Chains A and B, each alone.
Chain A
Amino acid sequence: MAELGRAALLLTLGLSAYALLVGGYAAWRGRRRLAHSARNALIASFFSTLVAALVLVAGFLRDDFSLAYVADHSSKALPTPYKLSAFWGGQEGSLLLWLLVLTGYAALAVWLARKRARDLVVWVTPVLGGIALGFSWLLVAVSSPFDVIAAPADGSGLNPSLQNPYMVVHPVALYLGYVGLAVPFAFAMGALLSGRTDERWIVATRRWTIVAWTALGIGQLLGAHWAYVEVGWGGYYAWDPVENAALMPWLAATAFLHSVMIQEKRGMLRVWNVTLVSLAFCLSLFGTFLTRSGVVTSIHSFSKSTIGPWFLGFIVVAVVFAIGMIWYRLPQLRTTAKLESLVSREAAFLYNNLLLVALSLTILWGTAWPMVSEAVRGETMVVGRPYFDFFLRIFGLPLLLLMGIGPLVAWRRASLRGLARTFAWPAAVALATGVALIALGAGSSTPGLVAYTFSAFVLASIVHEFARGTAARRALTGEPIPTAFGRLIGRNRRRYGGYVVHAAVVLLAIGIAGSSAYDSVSEGRLAKGESLAVGGYTLTYRSLGEREGPNATEVRAVLDVRRGQKDLGTVKAGKNAYSVEQQVSNEVGIRTDYLTGEDLFVIAEQVNDDGTVFFRIFVKPLVNLIWLAGIVFLLGSVIALWPDAREERRLATRYANARERSDTPATT
């Protein structure tokens, strides 16, 4: 079976090389059949990679421990869903998943854009082929998942922290995001290579960018929830290098999604947009490098490997190529349109961009600092949480405020008097919220108070926007309110979808501020019958039980929970001891109050032989708004992504001439 997997990957390598070299030649010399052939090679590379992936899946499901990768990451006792997720539980499988998603995206992107931007796609094919070539080379020559060994009686099992339902979906979502950024990058480079710097690359990649950005955002939230329920330290984000690695490209892509609107509306920022899309992609490569190379210490990192230098070389090639192309096409990218006023929507978007990029680069510096210090001083120095928290406040809070300001300012220029009128209502709500919070005793954390006040401002401006738009539509058409509301969104999907995403970010900010600035913690060693009080709750350690799970011994302490005189039931926390993996994991107990969004979070840090348990207990106000934000974020993205028939018709008319001409072979 390993032979088929290896052969399939070898074919992907050949097809990618063909797409790069022959596709590049065909685009350069204008050879139609060769260009189609290269496109077919890129599409075929998805199917050959799919065969390789299926071989590996079959290896896991059949407990084929003659495959070294299966033996290292699975065992007979491992439950079937985790045998599937063990696919990406190690380096080789993760790289194969990267390649599978990349070739899948590439095949779909060039196929869907083959009509509207055919002369662009011929240049996109070699760029995507080049990226696929890099990854398939790693899988064929450096880190193959199909290495064969003498099959042991059983495998080594899967890291217990990866035996969690979130690990079945979180890496896939994250990779859909990381890899998805290759599509807008390839189209931007295709536009620069072909010299066609019109808007078609943006039109062709608009949805791809939103899909990748949404997947990356959802992937990070799923990862945060995994850390919250599985890692067992009481938090959801630790500024871990690998967490940062996913956040940085997401921030750059967020900046791109905003700045691209300025290009669409005003024809400005062409250089900035290709730079941002390149930055987002290179950061996604850097993220994969951090995860896979073992150069940083992280709970997500796997053992040190030999792919680091290869990957670094790959990143250098991508960066040099992108900078070179932007430099080469600089004269064509320059525009005559200028920023007319510092008080305008494009200016607000520009401020948003600068803050997002500054935050992204600051995180990059903090993340790369251990490597830089190692290289320069010979000793690894790590910047801690205070560094990241400081810059999150410095850049994040103004960003939050701008989210409320930007959409309400007119394009080109706006008067201060007009702005004062527009912002009167949201500002009044924000002020009232701030005063009320201080009165309620929330003034203990200044950043928390500012975050809540700004959040109130943004939420008020979003509600005001929906209300005002619905009223205007109702006045114009006489439609009932629900119809006017629905059609308002339906006719302006990107705008109102964007507002819903903004609402999600506000929920996220409220959840983060609440759970980090206003949380309570208490810890202590309890014997049966003893109690611990925290944040208004009283927990009494009642009993300790043990049972055999499918592949682990599960020890659970049971605690009675009371708030005042009210009995709130029980919560269980403990540990799992995995016999095959020879590892122990924390299994936290969480009691959620769905009305307030608060969690009571219990960690059984140490279970002693005498039956006493050392507990650490947190009360995390509003933390569930973070997970709710994920659902709202997805809803907003779907609204923004949903095809708009009128927009499609307009674009179809615009590109009809170009398409008709390029559909037919040249006759001269």
Chain B
Amino acid sequence: MIWVVLAAVLAVAVVIVVALPFLREPAPASDELHALDPAERSLLDAEEARDRALAALQELEADHRAGRISDDDYRAVVGSLRRDAAEALRALDRVSAAGTSDAKAKIH
């Protein structure tokens, strides 16, 4: 009998845990999940591209300094990596600016 009671207690406990979001907020102002909008996703993509470009440049410098990469190989790659990094930063600026104006438009 004790085991049946324990099973019942367990069942009640999990029902409470599952219902908790509704018990805490019986009538919320909004029940909508916020998904990233296209502008936010573009921003995230641009930030990832920037981090990737800067990390690649940083790693190349470290590899060259440690002697893993020859001067010739370094010179062959560093230019395109710097251009990629600059382009990624410009793209991020563009996306950020567009996001800011979108936000302002929403406020007004």
Which residue of chain B has the shortest Cβ distance to A655 in the bound complex? B44
Q: Given that A3-B7, A411-B60 are known contacts, is A665 also in contact with B34, CB under 8 Å in the complex?
A: yes
CB-CB < 8 A to A414: which residues of B? Answer: 69, 73
Q: B68 and A661: CB pair below 8 A?
A: no
Q: Is the CB of B72 within 8 A of A267?
A: no
Q: Are the C-beta atoms of A11 and B22 separated by less than 8 Å?
A: no
Asked if A44 contacts B76 (CB within 8 A), the reply is: no
Interface size of B by Cβ–Cβ distance < 8 Å? 52
Interface assignment of A354: CB less than 8 Å from any CB of chain B: no
What 1/0 flags go to B3-16 for Cβ under 8 Å of A?
11011001101100
Residues in B neighbouring A15, C-beta threshold 8 A: 14, 18
Interface members, chain A 1-58 (any B CB < 8 Å): 1-4, 7-8, 11, 15, 18, 26-27, 30-37, 40-41, 43-44, 47-48, 51
Give CA–CA (A417, B75) in the complex, Å.
14
Does B43 lie within 8 Å of A657, measured CB to CB?
yes
Contact A665 B29 (CB under 8 A): yes
Q: Which residues of B contact A664 (CB under 8 A)?
A: 34
Q: Are B36 and A196 in contact (CB under 8 A)?
A: yes
Those of B14-64 within 8 Å (CB) of chain A: 14, 17-22, 25, 28-36, 40-41, 43-45, 47-49, 51-52, 55-56, 59-60, 62-63
Say yes or no: B73 contacts A266, CB within 8 Å.
Answer: no
Smallest Cβ-Cβ distance to A7: which chain B residue: B7
Across the interface, B36 reaches (CB within 8 A) one of A43, A418, A422, A661, namely A661
8 Å CB interface, A414-471 against B: 414-415, 417-418, 421-422, 465, 468-469, 471
Q: Which of A239-281 contact B (CB under 8 A)?
A: 264-267
B75 to chain A, nearest CB (A): 10
Contact A198 B34 (CB under 8 A): no
- Size range of the interface on A? 35 or more
Q: Is the CB of A661 within 8 A of B10?
A: no
Q: Is the CB of B7 within 8 A of A8?
A: yes
Chain B residue nearest to A266 in the complex (CB):
B52
Residues of A with C-beta under 8 A to B77: 410-413
Are B28 and A33 in touch, CB under 8 angstroms? Answer: yes
Q: A198-B48, A418-B70, A657-B40 are in contact. Are A265 and B56 (CB under 8 A)?
A: yes
Give the residues from 56 to 92 in chain B that come closer than 8 angstroms, CB to CB, to chain A: 56, 59-60, 62-63, 65-70, 72-73, 76-77, 80-81
Contact partner of B33 (CB less than 8 A), chosen from A35, A44, A411, A412, is: A35
| B20 touching A40, Cβ below 8 Å | yes
Proximity bits, A597-613, B CB within 8 Å = 1, else 0: 00000000000000000
A571 to B55, CA, bound (A): 57
CA distance A339 to B44 in the complex (A): 24
Q: Does the CB pair B56–A33 fall under 8 Å?
A: no
* Shortest distance between the CB of B19 and any CB in chain A (Å): 7
Task: Out of B6, B32, B68, name the residue touching A4 (CB < 8 Å).
Answer: B6
A413 touches B73 (CB 8 A): yes
In the bound complex, residues from chain A placing their C-beta under 8 Å from that of B31 are 31-33, 665
Min CB–CB distance A389 → chain B (angstroms):
35
User: B72–A417 contact, CB under 8 A?
Assistant: yes
Which residues from A are CB-within-8-Å of B13? 44
A547 sits at the interface (CB 8 A): no
Residues of A within 8 A of B25 (CB): 33
Pair A661/B40 contact, Cβ less than 8 Å: yes
Our pick among B10, B17, B65, B67 for the contact of A7 (Cβ within 8 Å) is B10
Give bound CA distance, A657 to B40, whole Å: 8
Is A338 in the interface zone, CB < 8 Å from B? no
B95 CB → nearest A CB, Å: 11
- CB of A122 within 8 Å of the partner chain: yes
A16 to nearest B CB, angstroms? Answer: 12
At the interface, yes or no: A472 with Cβ under 8 Å from chain B? yes
Minimum CB–CB distance for B40 against chain A, Å: 6
Interface-central residue, B19, B41, B47, by most chain A CB under 10 Å? B47
B103 to chain A, nearest CB (A): 11
Q: Which residues of B contact A413 (CB under 8 A)?
A: 73, 76-77
The interface residues of chain A lying within 8 Å CB-to-CB of B19 are 37
Establish whether residues A472 and B65, one from each chain, have CB atoms under 8 Å apart when the complex forms.
yes
Cβ–Cβ < 8 Å partners of B81 in chain A: 412
Residues of A within 8 A of B72 (CB): 415, 417-418
Which chain B residue has the least Cβ–Cβ distance from A194? B35
A658 adjacent to chain B (CB < 8 Å): yes
Give the residues in chain A near B35, CB-CB below 8 Å: 30, 119, 194, 662
Task: Indicate if the CB atoms of A33 and B22 lie closer than 8 Å.
Answer: yes
Contact A44 B29 (CB under 8 A): no
A3 touches B3 (CB 8 A): yes
A592 and B21 alpha carbons, distance in the complex (Å): 60
A650 close to B (CB within 8 Å): yes
Collect the chain B residues with CB atoms within 8 Å of residue A215's CB: none
B residues near A11, Cβ cutoff 8 Å: 10-11, 14
Once bound together, how far apart are the Cα atoms of A666 and B35, in whole Å?
9
**What residues on A are CB-neighbors of B43 within 8 Å?**
657
B14 pairs with A661, CB closer than 8 A: no
* Contact in complex: A411, B18 (CB < 8 Å): no
Complex-state Cα separation, A41 to B51, whole angstroms: 36
A667 to B33, CA, bound (A): 10
Report how far A666 CA is from B106 CA in the complex, Å.
13
Whether the Cβ atoms of A44 and B17 lie closer than 8 Å is yes
B36 adjacent to A658 (CB under 8 Å): yes
List the 4 closest pairs (A to B, CB-CB), nearest first: A7-B7, A418-B70, A472-B66, A36-B21
Inter-chain pairs besides A1-B3, A4-B4, A411-B59, 19 sampled, C-beta below 8 Å: A7-B4, A8-B7, A11-B14, A30-B32, A32-B28, A32-B33, A44-B17, A47-B14, A48-B10, A119-B33, A119-B36, A198-B45, A267-B52, A414-B69, A415-B72, A472-B67, A657-B44, A661-B40, A665-B29
The interface of chain B, by Cβ under 8 A from chain A, is: 3-4, 6-7, 10-11, 13-14, 17-22, 25, 28-36, 40-41, 43-45, 47-49, 51-52, 55-56, 59-60, 62-63, 65-70, 72-73, 76-77, 80-81
15 A–B contacts from the bound complex (CB under 8 Å): A4-B3, A7-B4, A7-B10, A35-B33, A40-B17, A48-B14, A119-B33, A198-B45, A413-B76, A415-B76, A465-B68, A468-B68, A657-B40, A666-B30, A668-B32
